[in-house]
Amino acid sequence: MSRAFRDLMNPDLLHIYVCPYTKEPILLENGTYEGNSLRMGRLVSSSGMSFLIEDGIPVFCNPSKLGKMEKKTRTEYDFVADEFYDNAVDWQFASFYEDEDKVREGMIDLLKLEPESKVLEVGCGTGRDSIHIGRRLGPMGVFFLQDLSRRMVDKTRSNIDSCRSTGGLCCETHYFISDALHLPFPDEFFDSVFHFGGFNTFSEPKKSFQEFARITKRGGKVVVGDESLPPWLEGTPFGEIVCVNNPLFRNKVPLHAIPECARDVAVRWVLGSCFYVIDFRVDEGTPPLNIDLPHKGRRGGTMRTRYYGQLEGVSLDAKRMAQEAAAKQGLSLHDWLEQVIRKTAG
């Protein structure tokens, strides 16, 4: 991808971004350039959906499609994007006596990044994880940063540019605004997807996980974390104090939302043992399973026959008689039933 003004939209992204709702290709209309970069314009899909580029940042949001929770979250985060948000995060780490850099580096280790990795951070906030991710990437690395809040994205862009100016970051960076359910990328585009700190406010966690997995390459990593008091601290004075201070800690770990394509799933608690972190490797579909492998032993059969071939229940006496007859002939109950039924029905 050719270099452009780093804080504005690179025109090469026109060949990458897709409509977040239909996944159709998009075209640029009325583009305004600054040097080789796009400052303003409109991105249009073949079905007529359009998205503005504002100050070099594409806005892939359709207000009519935002959920109630997302609308509320966007308003709140636009309000707290300046000092309030960072002050609250500083307080959170200090209250748990935690080293912020150590905690964040530990989570980012789970992404298994290479210098040339292509990474998406969903919910970049003010860039506190973003800086750590960006430093792991080399000049060939590509880093996309998303948030639902325009003011959060602006704050991250400013912080990333400050880090870059001091030589602390050298990867490509691209910013956009969207929700987490509709991401403007083709399937299997990223090596890793990261999110920390906002999942409890997502209206549809299962669909969000599915979207993260959709855009991640097979073998790539997804890492997601947020507040959740662990079961062993429930009912303790510690747990009650934490949850009264912030009810978000009463949320449960969204294990039910993890997609079926997840492999090597792990869950751990960090930051005072009050934030879960889920990580998994993306594969295709459910795990491989040989449902035709015969069972050894008196019952016999396979997982397929035991699931699809169930018959009406019989009396205990009839079951015992069948078992004895099968044993007398040296057959499993499955094989004996197959023979008897086929012979009788045929």
5 pLDDT higher than 60? no
Please name every residue paired with 262 in a beta bridge, in sequence order, or none if there are none: 282
Shared-domain flag, residues 222 and 173: yes
Q: How far apart are CA 166 and CA 172, in angstroms?
A: 15
Q: In sequence order, which residues have a C-beta less than 8 Å from that of residue 19 and are 6 or more positions away?
A: 25, 26, 45, 47, 49, 51, 184
Residues 185 and 310 in one domain: no
Q: Is residue 117 a contact partner of residue 191, using CB atoms and an 8 Å limit?
A: yes
High-pLDDT (> 70) share of the chain, %: 98
Residue 321 lies in a domain: yes
Residue 6, pLDDT score:
55
Distance from C-alpha of 316 to C-alpha of 154, rounded to nearest angstrom: 72
Q: Which CATH number covers residue 253?
A: 3.40.50.150
The predicted-structure confidence for 180-210, as pLDDT tens digits, reads as follows 999 999 999 999 999 999 999 999 999 999 9
Are residues 247 and 322 located together in one domain of the fold? no
The residue from 230, 252, 282 where one domain ends is 282
The answer to whether residues 241 and 338 belong to one domain is: no
Residue 189 sits in the same domain as residue 307: no
User: Are both 174 and 321 inside the same structural domain?
Assistant: no
121 token code pair: 């951070």
State the pLDDT confidence band at 286, using cuts at 50, 70 and 90.
Answer: very high
Residue 81 host element (H or E): none
Q: Is residue 66 part of a domain?
A: yes
User: Would 6 be classed as within a structural domain?
Assistant: no
Q: Within this chain, do residues 171 and 311 fall inside the same structural domain, yes or no?
A: no
Token code pair at residue 49: 């959906």
**Residues 186 and 108 grouped into a single domain:** yes
| pLDDT bracket for residue 4 (50, 70, 90) | very low
Q: Which residue has the tokens 């940063």?
A: 145
Tell me the per-residue pLDDT of 24-70, one tens digit each, with 9 for 90 and over.
Answer: 999 999 999 999 999 999 999 999 999 999 999 999 998 888 888 88
Domain boundary among 282, 315, 334: 282
- 286: DSSP letter: S
Give the closest residue to 181 by CA, choosing from 154, 156, 215. 215
- What mean pLDDT value characterizes the chain? 94
Considering the domain boundaries, does residue 293 fall inside one?
no
Tell whether 215 and 99 lie within a shared domain.
Answer: yes
Question: Edge-to-edge, what's the strand order for the sheet holding 50-54?
Answer: 26-34, 37-45, 50-54, 57-58
Same domain, 333 and 276: no
Number of domains in the chain: 2
Give yes or no: residues 267 and 320 share one domain.
Answer: no
In the chain, alpha helices (H): 68-80, 83-95, 100-109, 130-136, 150-165, 205-214, 237-245, 303-308, 316-328, 333-345
Burial of 124 (0-12, 13-18, 19+ CB in 10 A): buried
Distance in angstroms (rounded) separating the CA atoms of residues 311 and 316: 14
Output the CA–CA distances (angstroms, integers) from residue 53 to 12, 42, 118, 120, in the order listed.
Answer: 14, 6, 22, 19
For residue 35, the SS3 value is coil
Can you tell me whether residue 280 is helix, strand or coil?
Answer: strand
Q: Which domain holds residue 329?
A: 303-345
User: Is 31 contained in some domain?
Assistant: no
Domain membership of residue 217 (yes or no) is yes
Q: Are residues 92 and 238 in the same domain?
A: yes
Specify the DSSP element, H or E, that contains 267.
strand 262-270
Question: In the predicted model, what is the mean pLDDT of residues 163-183?
Answer: 94
User: Is 35 within the bounds of a domain?
Assistant: no
Q: Cα 115 to chain center, whole Å?
A: 21
Q: How far apart are CA 48 and CA 163, in angstroms?
A: 39
pLDDT at 2: 44
Last residue of a domain, one of 253, 282, 311: 282
Instruction: Establish if 278 belongs to a structural domain.
Output: yes
